Amino acid sequence: MHLKRVGAFTDGLLLLLMAAAVSTASHEVVRFQCPEAILAFGGSSTDTGEAQSFTGERELDFVTASQFLPYGITYFGHPADRYSDGRLIIDFLSQAFGLRLLDPYFDNIAPDFRQGINFATGGANVRRVESIDVVPIYLGLQVNQAIRFYHKSLDVPSGALVPAPSSFGNLGLYFIFAGVNDICFATMTNSGVERIRDVILPEIVSNVSLAITRLYNNSTTRQFLVLGISPFGCTAFALGLGLPDLNPAYGPIGQDGCAQGINGFVKELNELLLVELESLRSQLSETTIVYADTYSIIYDAVINPSLYGFS
């Protein structure tokens, strides 16, 4: 696929995120303030250099691949430590709010964290999965890092490159885009349909929920943006790994070119997540929790590529 009009896709995505913000307004007025700082969590779709900083220079593999072209070729013009040819959703969001692009937490060369910090790490699962050899980092650990960072940042001398205390509270935003690696790992290791449905998907959702509650309990930031998982069963990554062949229930490949079973898991996860977020909205007072439906827009781009400038 060749991308001709990046702008249309971006605008669509941001409109979608904003629409998601408005759609939560059905039963109450949504309080949403443009953030002055974003703290981001997740995996490679949000990683701006974390996995690279973590592993250092190594031979070409999954992690270091983003140091080579064509990564970064469409926007940055050079590899930019992102697993993308251009900007990530978190980059578009930062720019839309007039903020600088987020430096990763592990960045140790002149990082500037005044407008946020990125804990997302390529390969990270939501659940604690011991046998992952890419990065031993999961969502709960990213939350530990964030809580430590938050507390330490309140104590540093003025002039330090961390968010001002006023950038937390309602001027902060937690961004969470996580769970796809759990589905990837569960299918790669052929966990089977029953275990995925009955154990893994509910555990992902309860771990995301716990992450939100812990962040809420240990900071003053009250704005959360949670992205639903996008159609992983349509990605070259899932298809290239041959995941649909591992178990008949992960396929078949539909007329849309996507692995139906895998997309089914993604849709189930998103539905469970929606229900959990609704329950968190009533448990956590004074909190704005926005859910953004990335599945619909990305799936629409997959089946109607020309509408989005792909050919």
The footprint of ligand NAG (CB under 6 A) covers 127-128, 140, 147, 203, 206-207, 210, 213-214, 217-218
The answer for residues whose C-beta is within 8 angstroms of residue 203's C-beta and 6 or more apart is: 127
Q: How far is the CB of 144 from ligand NAG (least distance, A)?
A: 6
Looking at the Cβ atoms of 213 and 296, the one nearer to ligand NAG is: 213
* CB neighbour burial string for 145-156, b if at least 16 within 10 angstroms, e if fewer: bbeebbeebeee
- Residue 311 corresponds to which tokens in the numbers above? 């050919």
Looking at the Cβ atoms of 119 and 299, the one nearer to ligand NAG is: 119
Looking at the Cβ atoms of 67 and 218, the one nearer to ligand NAG is: 218
Q: Phi and psi for 272 in degrees, rounded to 5? A: -60, -40
Q: Phi and psi for 60 in degrees, rounded to 5? A: -55, 120
Q: How far is the CB of 28 from ligand NAG (least distance, A)?
A: 22
- Residue 121 corresponds to which tokens in the numbers above? 């790490």
Looking at the Cβ atoms of 88 and 215, the one nearer to ligand NAG is: 215
- The whole-angstrom separation of Cα 147 and Cα 72 is 31
Q: How far is the CB of 128 from ligand NAG (least distance, A)?
A: 5
Q: How far is the CB of 103 from ligand NAG (least distance, A)?
A: 22
Q: How far is the CB of 236 from ligand NAG (least distance, A)?
A: 30
- The whole-angstrom separation of Cα 31 and Cα 294 is 22
- Residue 258 corresponds to which tokens in the numbers above? 């996507």
Query: 250 and 244 in contact (C-beta within 8 Å)?
Result: yes
Looking at the Cβ atoms of 12 and 140, the one nearer to ligand NAG is: 140
At residue 50, the 3 state secondary structure works out as helix
- The whole-angstrom separation of Cα 133 and Cα 51 is 12
Q: How far is the CB of 239 from ligand NAG (least distance, A)?
A: 29
Looking at the Cβ atoms of 147 and 253, the one nearer to ligand NAG is: 147
> Quick one: which H or E segment has residue 203?
helix 201-217
